Chain A
Amino acid sequence: NAGVTQTPKFQVLKTGQSMTLQCAQDMNHEYMSWYRQDPGMGLRLIHYSVGAGITDQGEVPNGYNVSRSTTEDFPLRLLSAAPSQTSVYFCASLSLDTQYFGPGTRLTVL
């Protein structure tokens, strides 16, 4: 199993551009989540999904959209990138109380 995979690893955007961060897992986990990690802030939950077709907002959802059309994929969309969205983004899936994290996407918005 590949576990949780994320693409791209690095991305630079200009203010106002849109993009999608990809996340996929091959463990057939129902729960998936997106977090952002900023220096000195720990991880903050952006959006999460308890299964295909079901998503909900986390602590910091503004500026981001998600969808969950399949169990495997949980993409995160930045609608109009802002410098405040410069961060490292982690996707995670959940099984038996344990969250499995992807390697992260480092995003810089200029």
Chain B
Amino acid sequence: SQQGEEDPQALSIQEGENATMNCSYKTSINNLQWYRQNSGRGLVHLILIRSNEREKHSGRLRVTLDTSKKSSSLLITASRAADTASYFCATDTTGANSKLTFGKGITLSVRP
């Protein structure tokens, strides 16, 4: 069963615009993480937010977490063509982080 489900499945924006991606999950979590995957490459960790946190920032990234709605959002501000990639949310329900459950991913295209 899929724990994390991203929305939308695909997003196309113009360079300079903001990109907002959402993730919903089903069961209680210890933390939620966002990863990026460039075409043909492995996943790269972007940011982690713990269940007792509501918002985190890292450079142009802003992540929010609403545990009452079991949802998270990833905002990329002032997007660049290099942000074109697939983005995945992953949830940890065990506290050990060794059993992350990934969503199906969002394909983001940033047009120059």
Contacts and interface: CB of A to CB of B under 8 A. Distances in A.
A50 B40 CA distance: 28
A60 to B, nearest CB: 12
A44 B4 CA distance: 12
A51 B104 CA distance: 28
A102 B102 contact: no
Given A40-B104, A42-B2, A42-B104, A48 B41 contact: no
A99 B88 contact: no
Contact of B98 (A4, A44, A48): A48
Interface of A: 4, 31, 33, 35, 40-45, 48, 50, 58-59, 90, 92, 94, 97-104
A33 B97 CA distance: 10
Interface string B80-112: 000000001010000011111111110000000
Report, nearest first, the 6 A-B pairs whose CB atoms are least far apart: A101-B42, A43-B102, A42-B104, A42-B102, A101-B43, A98-B45
Interface of B: 2, 4, 31, 33, 35, 40-45, 48, 88, 90, 96-105
B44 A101 contact: yes
Contacts of A48: 98-99
A9 B48 CA distance: 29
Given A45-B99, A48-B99, A102 B42 contact: yes
A46 to B, nearest CB: 11
Nearest to A48: B98
Contact of A97 (B4, B31, B44, B103): B31
Given A59-B101, A99-B45, 12 more contacts: A31-B98, A33-B100, A35-B102, A40-B104, A43-B90, A50-B98, A58-B99, A97-B31, A97-B48, A99-B90, A101-B42, A104-B41
Contacts of B88: 42-43
A109 B112 CA distance: 38
A42 B103 contact: yes
A103 to B, nearest CB: 5
B5 to A, nearest CB: 9
Contacts of A31: 96-98
